[in-house]
Amino acid sequence: MYEQIRAQLSDAIIGGDIAEGEMLPSLRQLAAQLRVSIITVTRAYNELVAMGLASNEHGRGFVVCAVAADHAAAVMADRVTNAISEVVSAGRTARLDMTTVLGKVEAEWMRRG
């Protein structure tokens, strides 16, 4: 569960949805909201710190750090590559041809406009 929390927060930080200097929710607040233990949230936040995406400021809590634009672009490009790999694997497992898979990707792209 902590990996899901870390992944969603890191995506939001790298994608710019959570800005530099913003405070992350308190450990207790997020744990209660997600109905998980404080230890789970603490582990996720500590990984964000290890990744350089947040800092733990004594008395304030966890604060979002600046993310270099080139780093953010590289991380997002890797995410796209991984997602494409999963789509190709799923398509092959389902015995779909490339045209069908590409059609599904294009339809989803258009749906999200």
- pLDDT at position 75 over 90: no
Give the domain ranges of the chain.
Answer: 2-64, 69-111
Please name the CATH architecture into which domain 2-64 falls. Answer: Orthogonal Bundle (1.10)
Model confidence, pTM: 0.72
Q: How confident is the model at residue 71 (pLDDT cuts 50, 70, 90)?
A: confident
Q: pLDDT value at position 43?
A: 96
- Give the angle subtended at the CA of 67 by the CAs of 84 and 71, to the nearest 5°: 45
Q: How confident is the model at residue 72 (pLDDT cuts 50, 70, 90)?
A: confident
Interhelix angle 2-14/69-93, rounded to 10 degrees, is 130
How many Cα atoms within 13 Å fall on the side-chain side of residue 19? 2
